[in-house]
């Protein structure tokens, strides 16, 4: 199996992914639980790579996953997580453990990683939410085609694969 770089994200209207360091639809318990359940199922036992801000917003190391936290601040230390000074180092280390490296956010990391991504695992929420962080444009770019779609009430789970060489 080829090595994959997978971006996993939940996006609302206009590709909003976050607001004030949190998830805008946090209070929608049903959506949050169902999204978290899919996130857990896909990433369990896989390496996950995240930005420092996302790590702080999650507030803990994700269990049963090797956690890579990106930070340029030297001296940062988190029990149970690997601190990486750059994205390539994290991806190489993740691929030493698994063919699937999951990039789990946030905005800064998604923008840096999407050019090398092989797959997008998206939760696409129909609602509009106020946001200050966004997922890069991927629809109608001609770069991605949908390989999986599961419609839910007010949102869908979709998988995209790259449709042309990077």
Ligand X SMILES: NC(=O)c1ccc[n+]([C@@H]2O[C@H](COP(=O)([O-])OP(=O)(O)OC[C@H]3O[C@@H](n4cnc5c(N)ncnc54)[C@H](OP(=O)(O)O)[C@@H]3O)[C@@H](O)[C@H]2O)c1
Residues lying near ligand X in the complex (CB under 6 A) are found at 9-10, 17-18, 21-23, 50-54, 57, 70-73, 85-87, 104-109, 112, 133
Q: What is the DSSP letter of 137?
A: P
d(CA 148, CA 111): 23
CB of 81 to ligand X, least distance (A): 12
Give dist(CA 37, CA 79) in Å, integer. 25
Q: How far is the CB of 51 from ligand X (least distance, A)?
A: 2
CB of 142 to ligand X, least distance (A): 23
Q: How far is the CB of 123 from ligand X (least distance, A)?
A: 7
Please identify, using beta-carbon distances, which residue of 100 and 124 lies nearer to ligand X: 124
Q: Are 94 and 47 in contact (CB under 8 A)?
A: yes
Per-residue b/e over 54-66, b at no fewer than 16 CB within 10 Å? bbebeeeebeebb
Give the residue with the Cβ less far from ligand X, 17 or 117: 17
Choice between 2 and 27, CB closer to ligand X: 27
Query: Of 60, 55, 58, whose CA–CA distance to 70 is shortest?
Result: 55
Nearer to ligand X, 21 or 154 (CB): 21
């Amino acid at each position: 199996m080829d090595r994959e770089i997978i971006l996993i994200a939940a996006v609302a209207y206009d590709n909003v992914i976050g607001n004030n360091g949190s998830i805008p639809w946090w209070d929608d318990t049903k959506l949050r639980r169902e999204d978290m359940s899919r996130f857990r199922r896909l990433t369990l036992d896989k390496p996950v790579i995240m930005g420092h801000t996302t790590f702080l917003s999650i507030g803990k190391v994700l269990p049963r996953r090797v956690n890579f936290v990106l930070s340029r601040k030297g001296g940062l230390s988190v029990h149970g997580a690997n601190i990486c000074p750059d994205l390539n180092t994290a991806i190489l280390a993740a691929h030493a453990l698994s063919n699937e490296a999951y990039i789990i956010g946030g905005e800064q990391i998604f923008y840096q990683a999407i050019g090398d991504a092989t797959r997008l695992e998206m939760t696409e929420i129909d609602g509009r939410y106020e946001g200050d962080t966004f997922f890069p444009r991927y629809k109608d770019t001609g770069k991605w085609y949908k390989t999986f779609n599961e419609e839910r009430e007010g949102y869908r789970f979709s998988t995209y694969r790259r449709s042309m060489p990077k």
